[in-house]
Amino acid sequence: MLARSARPFAFDLLKTDTRTAARAGVLHTPHGDVPTPVYMPVGTQATVKTLTPDELVAAGASLILANTYHLSLRPGAERIAHFGGLHRFMGWERPILTDSGGFQVFSLGHLRSVTDDGVTFRSHIDGSTHVFTPARVIALQEAIGADIIMPLDECLPYGVDEAGAAVSLERTHRWVERCRAAQTRRDQALFGIVQGGMLARLRRASATWLAGLDLTGYAIGGLSIGESKDEMHALLEEVTALLPARKPRYLMGVGAPEDLFACVARGVDMFDVVLPTRLARNGALITAAGRLNIRNARCADSLDPIEHGCRCYTCARFSLGYLHHLFRAEELLAYRLATLHNVTFMLDLMGRIRASILDGTFEEMRARFLEGYRPTDAAAREEQRSRWLEAQARKASCR
Amino acid sequence: MLARSARPFAFDLLKTDTRTAARAGVLHTPHGDVPTPVYMPVGTQATVKTLTPDELVAAGASLILANTYHLSLRPGAERIAHFGGLHRFMGWERPILTDSGGFQVFSLGHLRSVTDDGVTFRSHIDGSTHVFTPARVIALQEAIGADIIMPLDECLPYGVDEAGAAVSLERTHRWVERCRAAQTRRDQALFGIVQGGMLARLRRASATWLAGLDLTGYAIGGLSIGESKDEMHALLEEVTALLPARKPRYLMGVGAPEDLFACVARGVDMFDVVLPTRLARNGALITAAGRLNIRNARCADSLDPIEHGCRCYTCARFSLGYLHHLFRAEELLAYRLATLHNVTFMLDLMGRIRASILDGTFEEMRARFLEGYRPTDAAAREEQRSRWLEAQARKASCR
């Protein structure tokens, strides 16, 4: 229900950990409250793939992400407005955050040109040409109607030099000002996006400058794009040190369980990441011990659930052996059951992280979890990422 | 729950319509009761595609079908036995009927040879060679553990002459005797399958001879394979006139809503058909007015549900416009929501048919439904069927 409050957004910082920079809070929005830190399942095309809104609620999701790039192309932002906005259209009445579309435009490979006015690109669906300006992405997001919206920003690939990163940062800063000026709705919160490539100096400048705009919240963009974890953590620390404590911090596109701990510890409150849902559809199940590949022959005769003690419907009702069979048979039910497990796992994990911050045991909780959890190594991760990017490029070139 | 009854199977014929041959009854099985007439959703590979057992229960399903051919190849009948049988393996604790696999062997195009001993074929999965004898299909079905099982039968294509059909019928009759002799479990009901091609004389002979075996129930196979509706109805009438009234009649592989009425009226109690679930995955939604193609541009801006008054989750929560978007975007949720609607529609329809038989208003109910319902015409049906068969052949030749 839309809260008829004069102040539709507020962030209550309930606790800051004494031994790390971790925080626990509540972000109040017109469509409800979001306990933080929070993991946002990704619902790119107005659906968190395979799941119904009821399942997301049962799994404990309080906030989901949707993509303005995709939705503006199909079904179209005005069409979504015709349906009463994205919440009504997709049947999810809790908070929604929309990405501005900048990342997709820059990363999906159909970028035609970038000027200070905006970006021109070709649709991955039908090749038609479109222009995203700061005003346009705000208009699109106002039609879509998410609670939290993002400005158009320039997303650089890994390895851009300082000069290029500085020019890009200026542009991104001009764009957020134009985005804010373009807003007409009073019930949507525009976050700023800290950029600056891999240069600490630029990151500090961006964080400082954006903090001065007194926006509702602050995202950190352009990380986890190929740099090492150490590099990412160092830049993150530079940024969070300069962002206002009383505003939420949103690290875009991160991360796996080990990344959640590392970044929560560095003061991040909000995360979106496709990994849990994408892994699920590929038969990789997240457990407290690490990833489990359901197609592994070891699973074929196992009567065990994915994880004892997991409260999800999949673990309550089905064996590894049955899931193994569904995946080998390429049955649609497989993708749904796996997704439900992975999303529930991530939401539960974040819930336990939050509880540990509130009761002062975050460091112990983190140590206990990481002791039992075997992360997928960097080489394997990079290999999988390359294969996925290649598959995307092949798909795109087939249209 | 397994009924600890000395007589695990019984068929209560509650009512026979006075104006047609329609009947309403209850088939009692070890895993529960099946109100008849009944539509059985098809769960070929131990899953009714996209749906969980809970959704099937909520939709009102009381009996589902699974395929011995597919399950014997993957995951394997012995493996299913390791999991405690198919009910436990797939989490469906209500009645199950398994087809013997004969139809798939004869229709999936990998048949190597047919002799009086059985059939030799190559797996569509990996090309390995397998033999189905009457004893083998019973052993497989005993390991799988369905409540109702079927004998190995020879399934003829349309157009076989009388001599060929007569030889085949003899073989099918010898096989059902050998199947019955091979049974060791006391909690599974073996049905006979009436064959005889398109020859009324052979059909009558088959029905009469099988009736003499005093089996628990009787299926009618080898119909709806290319003959006209009139031809099918005529043969059906010949057969049901000779089958014992107090045993259930199961018409295999039928049918669309209009076919359900026509065949219930001719004394059929049980139906399995992939059409509702397959149509759903292809965006064709069944409504009281006929089929609705969700991809039609008309649906893109519709705030209406698929059907007002439909009690399924899809109609309760989502608009045609959203479903249209999901299908255009090839989102996995689309297939699930569409399947849930079509299966619920068919189950509700059959429930209303049964109620009308019980209260003596079947003819009126049928007239009312058919007045508003526009069947897909025969030409369109045949076209779709050809396209699907071609797609199957292409897939098979790619392995």
- ipTM of this complex prediction, to 2 decimal places: 0.94
pLDDT, tens digit, for every residue of A197-253? 999 999 999 999 999 999 999 999 999 999 999 999 999 999 999 999 999 999 999
Mean of the per-residue pLDDT values for chain A? Answer: 94
Instruction: From the candidates A147, A153, A272, A348, give the one annotated as an active-site residue.
Output: A272
More confidently predicted of B390 and A273: A273
Q: Closest residue of A to B302, CA-based?
A: A83
User: What is the enclosing helix (H) or strand (E) of A67?
Assistant: strand A64-67
Q: Dmax of chain B from CA atoms?
A: 60
Report the pLDDT value the prediction gives residue A395, as an integer from 0 to 100.
64
Report the pLDDT value the prediction gives residue B159, as an integer from 0 to 100.
87
Closest CA to A120 of A112, A128, A71: A112
Return the sign of the alpha-carbon dihedral for residues A98, A103, A105, A108: negative
Q: Going edge to edge, which strands form the sheet with B217-220?
A: B38-40, B270-272, B249-252, B217-220, B189-194, B148-149, B96-99, B64-67
pLDDT, tens digit, for every residue of A105-132? 888 767 779 999 999 999 989 999 999 9
The whole-number average pLDDT for the span A169-189 is 97
Q: Range with the lowest mean pLDDT among A269-283, B28-42, B111-125?
A: B111-125
Q: Which two three-digit tokens encode residue A303?
A: 């009567």
> Chain B interface, mutation test: which of A322, A395, A398, most B Cβ atoms within 10 Å?
A322
Distances (CA, A) of A165 to A49, A115, A171, A204, A206: 35, 15, 10, 13, 11
Report the pLDDT value the prediction gives residue B7, as an integer from 0 to 100.
66
Mean of the per-residue pLDDT values for chain B? Answer: 94
- Which residues, at least 6 apart from A313, have a Cβ–Cβ distance to it below 8 Å? A55, A58, A337, A340, B52, B54
Smallest Cβ–Cβ distance between B47 and the set A49, A82, A326 belongs to A326
Residues from chain B contacting residue A54 (CB–CB below 8 Å): 313, 317
The whole-number average pLDDT for the span B225-254 is 96
Please, which residues bridge with residue B285 across strands? B292
Residue B21 in contact with residue B266, Cβ under 8 Å?
yes
Report the pLDDT value the prediction gives residue A378, as an integer from 0 to 100.
62
| Whole-number Å distance between alpha carbons of A366 and A378 | 20
Q: What are phi and psi for residue A129, nearest 5 degrees?
A: -95, 140
pLDDT, tens digit, for every residue of A254-265? 999 999 999 999
Please state the length of chain B: 399
Q: Hey, how many other C-beta atoms are within 10 angstroms of the C-beta on B130?
A: 17
Among this protein's residues, is A272 annotated catalytic? yes
Give the angle subtended at the CA of A11 by the CAs of A10 and A16, to the nearest 5°. Answer: 165
Report the pLDDT value the prediction gives residue A397, as an integer from 0 to 100.
58
Report the pLDDT value the prediction gives residue A344, as an integer from 0 to 100.
98
Instruction: Answer yes or no: is pLDDT of A392 > 80.
Output: no
Instruction: Answer yes or no: is pLDDT of A3 > 50.
Output: no
Smallest Cβ–Cβ distance between A335 and the set B51, B325, B332 belongs to B332
Percent over 90 (pLDDT), chain A: 86
> Chain A interface, mutation test: which of B72, B330, B332, B398, most A Cβ atoms within 10 Å?
B332
b vs e for A235-255, b when ≥16 Cβ sit within 10 Å of the residue's Cβ? bbbbbbebbbeebbbbbbbbb
Residues from chain B contacting residue A333 (CB–CB below 8 Å): 47, 49-52
Instruction: Answer yes or no: is pLDDT of B398 > 60.
Output: no
Among this protein's residues, is A214 annotated catalytic? no
Smallest Cβ–Cβ distance between B45 and the set A90, A318, A329 belongs to A329
Contact call for A321 and B52, based on CB within 8 A: no
Please state the length of chain A: 399
Report the pLDDT value the prediction gives residue B109, as an integer from 0 to 100.
60
Report the pLDDT value the prediction gives residue A373, as an integer from 0 to 100.
96
Residues from chain A contacting residue B52 (CB–CB below 8 Å): 313, 317, 333, 336-337
| Whole-number Å distance between alpha carbons of A356 and A24 | 9
Smallest Cβ–Cβ distance between A301 and the set B53, B79, B317 belongs to B79
Report the pLDDT value the prediction gives residue A71, as an integer from 0 to 100.
98
State the DSSP string of A176-241: HHHHHHH---SS-EEEEEE--TT-HHHHHHHHHHHHTTT-SEEEE-S-SSSS-HHHHHHHHHHHHT
The whole-number average pLDDT for the span B161-169 is 93
Contact call for B325 and A51, based on CB within 8 A: no
Q: Which two three-digit tokens encode residue A6?
A: 């004069």
A83–chain B nearest CA distance, Å: 7
Report the pLDDT value the prediction gives residue A112, as an integer from 0 to 100.
79
Q: Which two three-digit tokens encode residue B195?
A: 């064959």
Q: Closest residue of B to A314, CA-based?
A: B52
> Chain B interface, mutation test: which of A44, A47, A395, most B Cβ atoms within 10 Å?
A47
Q: Is there a cis peptide before residue B37, judged by omega within 30 degrees of 0?
A: yes
pLDDT, tens digit, for every residue of B303-335? 999 999 999 999 999 999 999 999 999 999 999
Q: Which two three-digit tokens encode residue A24?
A: 């626990």
A90–chain B nearest CA distance, Å: 7
Residue A29 in contact with residue A369, Cβ under 8 Å?
no
Instruction: From the candidates A99, A147, A153, A259, give the one annotated as an active-site residue.
Output: A99
Contact call for B322 and A91, based on CB within 8 A: yes
B68–chain A nearest CA distance, Å: 15
pLDDT, tens digit, for every residue of B242-274? 999 999 999 999 999 999 999 999 999 999 999
Instruction: Answer yes or no: is pLDDT of B198 > 60.
Output: yes
Residue A218 in contact with residue A210, Cβ under 8 Å?
yes
B178–chain A nearest CA distance, Å: 31
Smallest Cβ–Cβ distance between B318 and the set A51, A91, A326 belongs to A91
Contact call for B325 and A45, based on CB within 8 A: yes
> Chain B interface, mutation test: which of A42, A52, A71, most B Cβ atoms within 10 Å?
A52
> pTM for this structure?
0.94
Q: What is the 3-state secondary structure (H, E, C) of chain B?
A: CCCCCCCCCEEEEEEECCCCCCEEEEEEECCEEEEECEEECECCCCCCCCCCHHHHHHHCCCCEEEEHHHHHHCCCHHHHHHCCCHHHHHCCCCCEEEECCHHHHHHCCCEEEEECCEEEEECCCCCCEEEECHHHHHHHHHHHCCCEECCCCCCCCCCCCHHHHHHHHHHHHHHHHHHHHHCCCCCCEEEEEECCCCCHHHHHHHHHHHHCCCCCEEEECCCCCCCCHHHHHHHHHHHHCCCCCCCCEEEECCCCHHHHHHHHCCCCCEEECCHHHHHHHCCEEEECCEEEECCCHHHCCCCCCCCCCCCCHHHHHCCHHHHHHHHHCCCHHHHHHHHHHHHHHHHHHHHHHHHHHHCCCHHHHHHHHHHHCECCCHHHHHHHHHHHHHHHHHHHHCC
Instruction: From the candidates B17, B147, B259, B272, give the one annotated as an active-site residue.
Output: B272
Instruction: Answer yes or no: is pLDDT of B1 > 60.
Output: no
